Amino acid sequence: MGLGKTHQVMALITAIQEQGEDSRPFIVICPTTSGKWELFKEIFRESLDSGQKVVVFSQFLGIIQMIELYMAEQNIDYVILTGSSRRRGEIIDRFNQDPDCRVYVGSLKAGGTGIDLIAASVVIHYNR
């Protein structure tokens, strides 16, 4: 990625951060060819293949959306908790109690404190 593109991406990330918990739609396309993304997929897949449940935290909704698309493509059962999520307790209970629900993805602001994800044995913190 050239320097000009880097500045454009950083400006987009800043715009996302400034939007905060605004409920209006904001679509972001994240690159999926980075070394970090490839390492995430490797760790993620190894964890699932070994029968573990995985928690993924990010502070950026664009990354959460990218992970959600990946899980849908891979046919992986998951739950997501963000600031716009309703029924927070049901989301957490499903992850903890449903053996088919293998992944919890949450924004740090929405679920970084005050929740018990007792079913998880792997935690990944994924940011830019």
Q: Considering the domain boundaries, does residue 72 fall inside one?
A: yes
Q: What is the pTM of this model?
A: 0.73
Q: Considering the domain boundaries, does residue 49 fall inside one?
A: yes
- CA atoms of 110 and 128, how far apart (whole Å): 18
Structural domain span for residue 65: 39-128
Residue 127 sits in a domain whose CATH number is 3.40.50.300
Residue 34's pLDDT band (cuts 50, 70, 90): confident
Q: Give whole-number Cα distances, 58 to 66, 87, 95, 99, 107, in Å.
A: 11, 20, 17, 23, 5
Q: Considering the domain boundaries, does residue 63 fall inside one?
A: yes
Give residue 51's pLDDT.
Answer: 94
As for how many domains the chain has, the answer is: 1
Residue 15's pLDDT band (cuts 50, 70, 90): low
| CA proximity to 100, closest of 81, 76, 116, 121 | 76
